[in-house]
Chain A
Amino acid sequence: MKKHLREMRPVFVVGIGLHRYQRLSETPYVTLGLTAVREALADAALDWRSVQSAYTGTALIGMAASRPMLRHLGATGIAMAQVENASASGSTAFRQACIDVASGLTDVSIAVGVDKPGPVAMAPGKTRMRDLVGSRVVPFTHFALLTQEYMTRYGVSAEQIAQVAVKNNRNGANNPYAQRQKAVTLEEVMAGPAISGSLTRLQCCPVGEGAAAVIVASGDAIADLKIDRDRAVRVIASVAKTEQVYRGAKNFDAELTRETVEQAYREAGIAPRDLDLMELHDAFTIEELLYTEAMGLCGPGQAAAAIAAGEFDVGGRCAISASGGLLAMGHPIGPTGAGQIVEITRQLRGEAGVRQQPNAKTGLAHMVGVGAVCVVHILQKGA
């Protein structure tokens, strides 16, 4: 009989760490990754020798990234592997670490996300299936098409959609790990430069470098290693799915998100109203509206009004992208999904400082990636 995560051995996040997301620099990826890992070890008050498996979410660095980085913590001989799953690489690395602990293969595992921008070989370009537009349509134009469709269908203005960037940059301004740490006005967002359709530069996420690390542990390890149980946050759902055939011009990212999140709600035994915060794949402003609707936080076409009413602000009914999200914290690819878990854990512990969502108990992390793939986790305090 197959089981889902919540029916297996409980898994807890016990340590979190980040290296700030930033523009490409001379810093080696090794330094980025080690900074995040050492911060996570210190946060959990754990020795590296307690960690029994490591997964590195990375899409851009190249083959065999893990050991040349992690050996500098002391070569303990543990299992290591790279996880590449496009934008969901860090989310998938975290899922693998959870699976190790839930199954009993390990008591303590780590997911690391690390990347630096650079030339990348995209497999979809090697299928020898070419469409009419090729590289003339890049992600920002894919999302500009969805933006125009949404505006026309629901009578929503470009300014209403741009408010997502205002909200998430306001959050990013309170996050010392964010790539963009400056609050912006609607006028600044709209002033451009124009990128594609109605999307302006500040409505597109920055892709820089950085690192994130998350340590997960079993209840046994928490007791044996004297980890602070009060700061541990349980992972109550882990779901990964891929796109199916959707007829016509249906938005596949939203459909896939709907299917994946519905399964995660079922496995966690929660409803959308139970979510106190969420980190979602807001690489482009329109995505926050499409996904909050697909996840059932509001009805079709109602997300813009919910944002205007402050419902998704820190302090609102569900804080969305309290970290700043991909739009402000940034989207260094490999780290992004792991960084979402860092933010949700920090919030559920009540340690998020000025951007703390009050009384946060349950949080959801959502990433989509080229493929299309979707990975969703739900975390809960006190579970």
Chain B
Amino acid sequence: MSKRKAVQPELYSPDNADNPALNGGRCRACGYVFFPPQRYGCESCGAPPEQLEPAELRGCGQLHSYATVHLHQGKDIEAPFTVGLIVLDGGPAIRALLTNRTDEGLTIGDRMSSVLVAAGNDQEGNEMVEMRFARTEVRK
């Protein structure tokens, strides 16, 4: 039976959620919130791994900058594609691919939301999904 799987399961769940969350971390000692998650020690205050706990970060934030990549050497994706620098409402600034290939219609300051998009199938036939961001649709 084929399943739905995340390309980066350590960073987000493959469940078909509206606005999927990101797996971040928080330091119990100083409150610092970070992404990606890690279990080495707190970059802000130096607290040891025991003080670090998982923190779900809502997939919502503000577009801080964007760039359309015209030249890419990797074979995993074809240029052009567009990268956004997004400050999550939960604190960390992250970089993510946007759903649109070009920057048409984007404005710095736009509200952005996470979405899971199809990323082909793995060798067992599982449906792979990867996280991207898109401008938040204003609901009527």
User: Which residues from chain A sit less than 8 Å from chain B, CB to CB?
Assistant: 127, 129-133, 135-137, 140-141, 144-149, 152, 193-197, 245, 247-249
Tell me which of A136, A196, A197, A248 contacts B77 (CB under 8 A). Answer: A136
CB atoms of A145 and B65 under 8 A apart:
yes
CB atoms of B8 and A136 under 8 A apart:
no
Tell me which of B10, B32, B64, B131 contacts A130 (CB under 8 A). Answer: B10
Known contacts A133-B83, A133-B95, A146-B65: A245-B44 contact under CB 8 Å: yes
Known contacts A136-B76, A149-B85, A245-B44: A131-B68 contact under CB 8 Å: no
How many A-B residue pairs have C-beta atoms within 8 angstroms? Tell me: 88
24 contacts between A and B (CB under 8 A): A127-B38, A127-B40, A129-B37, A130-B10, A130-B11, A131-B36, A132-B11, A132-B96, A135-B76, A136-B74, A136-B76, A136-B83, A144-B67, A149-B108, A152-B108, A194-B71, A195-B71, A196-B68, A196-B69, A197-B68, A197-B69, A247-B91, A249-B65, A249-B85
Band of interface residues on B: 35 or more
Given contacts A127-B38, A130-B8, A132-B97, list 8 more A-B pairs with CB under 8 A.
Answer: A133-B83, A136-B69, A136-B74, A140-B71, A145-B95, A193-B71, A194-B70, A196-B67
CB atoms of B97 and A133 under 8 A apart:
yes
Distance A135 CA – B77 CA, assembled complex (angstroms): 10
Please give the distance in Å from B86's CB to the nearest CB on chain A.
8
Known contacts A133-B95, A148-B108: A141-B83 contact under CB 8 Å: yes
Distance A149 CA – B67 CA, assembled complex (angstroms): 10
Among residues of A, the one whose C-beta sits closest to the C-beta of B72 is A136
Q: Give the 8 A-B residue pairs with the shortest CB-CB distance, closest first.
A: A197-B67, A144-B67, A249-B93, A149-B65, A194-B70, A249-B64, A145-B65, A152-B108
Distance A137 CA – B32 CA, assembled complex (angstroms): 25
CB atoms of B95 and A137 under 8 A apart:
yes
B78-93 interface bits toward A, Cβ cutoff 8 Å, 1 = contact, 0 = none: 0001010101000101
